[in-house]
Amino acid sequence: MTNDFLNLLLQLNTANVKFVIIGGFAGIVHGCTFVTQDVDICCEFSVDNLLRLQNALSHISPVHRMTPQKIKLELAEDNCGDYKNLYLDTDLGQLDCIGSVKGIGDFCEVVKVSQKIEVEGQLLDVLTIDALIEAKKALDRPHDKEAVIQLEAIKKNEKQ
């Protein structure tokens, strides 16, 4: 993990944001060689969790990446329900916060197929290799197909 992305994840964890690492970083955890340009997490989209997320990111200038004006992230109790996903740029890099994972389900289902890893003395949740394979298969994009090939080879080698 790059230091900036690692710092981003550790800051979220320290702030008690409920999330699971998915996507490219989950692949890296399991041994994939792909490089990723962002951090993908599945998180609980409750008011409390989103406000914790915003607080954890407040000092690294989070903005909505998908808006031409790069609108500042400004969540409040009355607008948290408007979001199902957040695509953010921060001073530490891009963070994609997803409410559900194709092939797995919503945050509660994602948590069920995650495992704990220790990083710099903190425990982080990451998709298991089996769940990541299922998610990548469901997405069915060219780079996801390549990731599935690597992940299945890694899984096969672990069994030997």
Q: Could you tell me which residues come within 8 angstroms of residue 94 by beta carbon, excluding any fewer than 6 positions away?
A: 37, 38, 39, 65, 87, 88
pLDDT at 142 over 80: yes
- Token pair belonging to 147: 């990731």
> Which domains are delineated in the chain?
3-142 (3.30.460.40)
Model pTM score: 0.94
Averaged pLDDT, 108-118: 97
pLDDT at 35 over 80: no
Averaged pLDDT, 67-82: 93
For 44-79, give the DSSP string.
---HHHHHHHHHHHGGG--EETTSTT-PBP---TTT
